[in-house]
Structure 1
């Protein structure tokens, strides 16, 4: 047993998922280990193992697919944990990675709950993790008696100038051929951005005609999309905990064979944003009305204004909403406002008066009454809970 092990973490630190992994490992170390840690946040050691290995490490956790690093580290009897999502099982290096089949299942379940009948997948055909996510999605759909269209090209590794633009042009042509409304799962959030851009090129409305779901929940990328992107999060907290616990066990004297050769971590629940914030509605007036409500609920839009915009009477709009959505337009307006209030309470420090003004309420007292009626908690209590969960990394 080593009293103060020297541990190197090798990953590309500019990726949000990897930053979250660092936070997860820091949390594990704080309560469970006494490591001296070096963070190779440019993954230089993956490309140049000798540069890293000459420093005399006791353990390495690596998120990169570097066969050379793992082989040379094991030759030097350095304990290694492999967090790369490439499917390769490296001798003597317990592997921890996402359960990509389960991620595909989660995407199918999300769309099925919204009533979609047409499905598609967009990914990278040369990446195992993408193919696994595709296979899980198709497997779940097949079990439900549904079929799936697929668009795949090869990921170039390092993006070439013009590469994404060419991809989006081909996607736009493919999207035109799909029956609408269609639900598309993409292999990750980057690919989802491509699909959203292609929808703009093809003049297809998201989510009314094309609902898009990403994977990994890269929050910055998801919020940069227009509309904002729904995504399936990898359980980074558990991902990191298993990796840290496995390394700590080996450093304390357990043989690597006592641990699973590969541990697959199931995903969390879908984070729903506007790209899938809709039911599959085949009535064009209702679909258009839903879009208007989601875009303008916080600007004070009324049911009368919605009906006028979609060129039908209020009574007919009410009737069609209850048929296709299962609730009234007014309830949908309130739901959109409350979702925005929740986001602002969790992510900003705006006062309740500012939140009320920015979500279409003249008085913060009335906003609080509506919010509590629909959520069972006050805005202040919701904010406190959200901040507490964020502080715990949840």
Structure 2
């Protein structure tokens, strides 16, 4: 008989969905289970709910002391995916938050930033770990970091959000520019961007903003779209299933506190720029980012930057190592890649959305800059994900 496994995940969170994909991948390739998905996490608060059926094991993203106690009383193997304190005897799988902070710092250092900030939640251990990783990597590189930590009340309300945007704006106004600011998660990063907009501060030209957790919906709803460090939720789910299989086979896991290395930085426009202290160049880059995919010429950029064409060309070559036209194409190709990966749109529609009148010309430009055709690029990446 197949083991009966209870999966406690609120699927309205994208991270939970990614974790469940990791669990499913392990189950398909190693051991057949019958999984029951509690996608409202009722089991975390209702002991009778857990007792209503005989389970062989539990994987929970929403672990509470009540759930731990119930599983202990039932001698039911439990694997915890919540990034909070350890429960005695319960294996925990969570992100390597220090490494995640390190990646954020390296992302900004590679782009030439000399000034750095971190906005986090001082009352949460995972946020403090990310902050410490970020500041440690900067310190090892001989850099200083400004920190703004506040207590998160546990619920994002419009009133609290407005308060935070005001406080963040006051903080941002005191910081030197250009600066790279990392936030403890994507929600906090969106508050940093909102504060910058409220103060007329350009993102990313004056303040580049990096989030963490890489929640695609939050990141794409942002303007500009938010870069974010991805904690590798898929691997967390896979490892949780592996540990539960060991527990159900009466094997002892190697560790009760397993840290998962982050997957990397998903770079989007909020940090996709070099640290440049030149108003003409930053204005031109901002304009290109906004208009490249709606039909844009270099003459349009020259007018927006209030510079001569030769002056703009020289400044772009000096700061970026490429021409304004090449930057327009770079932004267009980035848009094409995004649409190829995140939608099933035909090439004709993608061509229109990226600012190309003819799909054939889009394909020529894409292949010249990437070495691959749009169709070949889409197929290759999707095969990797399968």
TM interval, short-chain normalised: over 0.9
Given candidates 225, 228, 231, the residue that maps to 1:228 is: 225
Secondary structure in 2 matching 1:13: coil
Match in the other structure for 2:247: 250
Name the SS for the 1:274 alignment partner. coil
1:194 maps to 191
Q: After alignment, is 146-155 or 104-113 more displaced?
A: 146-155
Residue in 1 that maps onto 2:80: 82
Q: Per the alignment, in what secondary structure is the counterpart of residue 321 of structure 1? A: helix
Query: Which region of structure 1 is more displaced relative to structure 2, 4-13 or 284-293?
Result: 4-13
Any unmatched runs of 5+ in structure 2? none
Match of 1:238 among 226, 230, 235: 235
Provide closer, same or farther for how the CA distance between residues 225 and 161 of structure 1 changes in structure 2, counting only shifts above 3 A: closer
Give the number of equivalent residue pairs: 386
Aligned twin of 2:215: 218
Q: What is the SS of the residue equivalent to 2:264?
A: coil
Equivalent residue for 2:201?
A: 204
Relative to structure 1, the CA distance from residue 365 to residue 167 in structure 2 (aligned partners, 3 Å threshold; closer, same or farther) is: same
Looking at structure 2, the residues matched to 16 and 302 of structure 1 have their Cα atoms a distance apart, in angstroms, of: 38
What residue in structure 1 maps to residue 135 of structure 2?
138
Within 1, Cα distance between the matches of 2:184 and 2:369?
Answer: 34
* Distance in 1 between residues matched to 2:157 and 2:335, nearest whole Å: 37
Shift of 1:75: 2.8
> Which of residues 107, 110, 114 in structure 1 aligns to 2:111?
114
Give the whole-Å Cα distance in 1 for the aligned partners of 2:42 and 2:335. 41
Give the TM-score normalised by structure 2.
0.96
Spell out, residue by residue over 1:233-270, the C-alpha distance to the aligned partner (whole angstroms, 9 max, x if none).
1112211111101101111231x3x4211110011121
The correspondence of residues 15-164 of structure 1 with structure 2, limited to 5 A, is 15-86=13-84, 88-164=85-161
Maintained 8 Å contact 2:92/2:257: yes
Where 2:155 maps in the other structure, the secondary structure is coil
Question: Is 1:186–1:215's contact at 8 Å kept on the other side of the alignment?
Answer: yes
Structure 2 match to 1:299: 294
Q: Is the 8 A contact 2:3 2:56 kept in 1?
A: yes
Q: Could you give the per-residue CA deviations for residues 200-251 of structure 1, whole angstroms, max 9, x where no partner exists? A: 1111111111111010110001111111111111112211111101101111
RMSD of equivalent CA atoms: 1.4
**8 Å Cα contact 2:19-2:235 kept in structure 1:** no
CA contact (8 A) 1:94 1:259 kept: no
Question: Deviation string for 1:162-214 (max 9, x for gaps)?
Answer: 11111111111111111111111001111111111111111111111111101
The normalised TM-score by structure 1 is 0.94
Deviates further, 214-223 or 196-205? 196-205
Query: Is the counterpart of residue 352 in structure 1 residue 347 in structure 2?
Result: yes
